[in-house]
């Protein structure tokens, strides 16, 4: 590992330990060689930032998304119940995030053209979109999927909270592809419990689409 990569890992590890509340200014290029074995706290922070970038680039500029992503903090030894509010600007390119409950917040640069950049985003007023409500646990499973194309990633990471509900929107074709991806991964799992959860989620997506078939 090069000296700069080690320096970036140490910097991320330091940020991962900063007492709450804090405003974090991060460059995604510093996360790319983070080693989960050497610096697990830095790796966890890097994964948190990658999720924020996916959520922020799944929506147009000028909008704030109350996303499905939970807060990373544990103030007073209890997990913060908040979730990430994210937005972005393209010129200059920054992603902004803040917790809906505590004062944890930050700004990310260096994300353009990365594997986590889901642009071009869907227009929020695009006609013909179907909305489906999912639970937080279901969305965690969707975020773990390894076989999503770019359109399905936008559906998953563009999930938003509205009056206590977690909602995803997509076209009939996108949601049908997502259901197929869920079923495909379930069929290739050896872990029975997760396989059952994914089968149930695939059935739920298919049932949502049946009136539109």
Same domain, 100 and 160: no
**Distance separating alpha carbons of residues 82 and 203, to the nearest angstrom:** 29
Same domain, 99 and 20: yes
**Distance separating alpha carbons of residues 106 and 99, to the nearest angstrom:** 9
> Which letter does DSSP use for residue 126 in this model?
-
Q: Does 118 reside within a domain? A: no
Give the end of a domain, one of 109, 140, 155: 109
Same domain, 98 and 10: yes
pLDDT at 8 (0 to 100): 45
Same domain, 104 and 17: yes
- Specify the length of the chain in residues: 213
pLDDT at 9 (0 to 100): 46
Q: Does 36 reside within a domain? A: yes
**DSSP codes of every residue in 45-96:** HHHHHHHHHHHHHTS-TT--EEEEEEP---GGGS----EEEEEEEETTEEEE
- Cα 202 to its chain centre, rounded Å, is 20
Same domain, 11 and 66: yes
Q: Does 83 reside within a domain? A: yes
Same domain, 9 and 92: yes
pLDDT at 13 (0 to 100): 53
Same domain, 105 and 145: no
Same domain, 96 and 35: yes
pTM for this model (two decimals): 0.85
Measured CA angle at 139 (ends 71, 54), to 5 deg:
65
pLDDT less than 50: residues of the chain: 1-10, 12, 14-15, 18-20
pLDDT at 10 (0 to 100): 44
pLDDT at 90 (0 to 100): 92
What's phi and psi for 185, nearest 5 deg?
-65, -40
Same domain, 62 and 140: no
Q: Does 124 reside within a domain? A: no
Same domain, 91 and 139: no
For residue 19, the SS3 value is coil
pLDDT at 5 (0 to 100): 39
Q: Does 8 reside within a domain? A: yes
Angle between helices 192-209 and 136-144 (to 10 degrees): 110
Query: Range of 36's domain?
Result: 3-109
Same domain, 100 and 136: no
Number of domains comprising the chain: 2
Q: Does 64 reside within a domain? A: yes
Same domain, 105 and 190: no
What's phi and psi for 144, nearest 5 deg?
-85, -10
């Amino acid at each position: 590992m090069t000296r700069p990569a080690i320096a970036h890992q140490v910097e991320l590890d330091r940020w991962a330990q900063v007492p709450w509340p804090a405003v974090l200014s991060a460059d995604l290029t510093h996360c790319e060689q983070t080693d989960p074995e050497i610096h697990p706290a830095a790796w966890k922070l890097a994964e948190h930032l990658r999720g924020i970038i996916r959520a922020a680039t799944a929506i147009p500029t000028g909008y704030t998304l109350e996303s499905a992503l939970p807060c990373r903090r544990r103030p007073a030894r209890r997990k913060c119940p908040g979730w990430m509010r994210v937005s972005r600007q393209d010129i200059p390119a920054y992603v902004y995030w803040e917790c809906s409950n505590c004062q944890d917040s930050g700004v990310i640069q260096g994300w353009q053209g990365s594997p986590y950049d889901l642009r071009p985003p869907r227009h929020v007023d695009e006609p013909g979109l179907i909305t489906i409500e999912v639970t937080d646990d279901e969305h965690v499973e969707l975020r773990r999927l390894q076989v999503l194309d770019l359109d399905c990633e936008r559906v998953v990471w563009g999930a938003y909270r509205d009056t206590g509900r977690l909602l995803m929107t997509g076209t009939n074709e996108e949601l049908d592809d997502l259901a197929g991806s869920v079923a495909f991964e379930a069929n290739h799992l050896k872990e029975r419990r997760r396989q059952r959860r994914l089968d149930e989620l695939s059935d739920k997506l298919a049932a949502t689409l049946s009136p539109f078939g």
